[in-house]
Amino acid sequence: MEPGKDEAAAVRVVTLRAVEATPESFAPFGQVVAGGSDGAKYGPDDAQLDLTRGIPRFYLMRLENQPLKFSSITHHAKVTQCLGSIGGQDWYLGVAKPSLVDGPSSDEQSGQDQDGRKPVLCRAGHYYLPPDPAEVRVFRVSGLKFLKLHRGTWHAGPLFRPDAMDFYNLELSDTNIVDHTTHRFKKHDGVTFVVED
């Protein structure tokens, strides 16, 4: 048998149906923020940001070749990241709930949660529980709105159908250097995801 063939055979493809991102459907993961009238006062429908752990960075990014599939997922523990497409084209984001923890439980001998997941200390210095593949969801973001992710929300994407798309991104100046933790589903769980819409 060729090297790597049985490894590829062991990978299970999971198809996830995309759900429209609404304030209600996306609430466990963050906020959906739509446009408001000029002069409106700040309130709960505005992005509830935490940019206190560094210098904010707001920038435009051009992404290419981001098809509707993923096998890894990332979180940022120090910032509430915001993402939106320029022009309001449809895009997709795979997510799992934040799973930041204080550290291994002193009460439990195993140090595992009820699902058998063990806390991991990442190179950024915080502990997290690996995301459960069964809890991964995919959202479609349509029109002129953006997503604000809770601190620690696992995310894969933006994903999209065109060859390239432009996005705006609000995070911290060093997010991708010191606060970028990735879980590889293919390696750790034998799973890869395909988005169906």
Measured in whole angstroms, the distance separating CA 111 from the mean position of its chain's CA atoms is 25
Residue 113 has pLDDT above 70, yes or no: no
pLDDT at 36: 79
Using CA atoms, how far residue 90 sits from 27, 58, 73, 102, in Å, is 19, 21, 20, 37
CA dist 129 and 112 (Å) reads: 9
pLDDT at 7: 52
114 vs 123, higher pLDDT: 123
107 vs 95, higher pLDDT: 95
Instruction: Give percent of the chain above pLDDT 90.
Output: 78
**Whether 93 contacts 147, CB under 8 Å:** yes
Q: What is the mean pLDDT of residues 178-196?
A: 96
DSSP the chain: --TTHHHHHTPEEEEEE-EE--TTTTTTTEEEEE---TTPPP-TTS-----TTS-EEEEEEEEE---SEESEEEE-SS---EEEETT---EEEEEE---EESSS-SS-SS---TTSPPPEE-TTS-EEPPPPGGG-EEEEE-SSEEEEEPTT-EEEEEE-SSSEEEEEEEEETTHHHHS-EEEEHHHHHSEEEEEE-
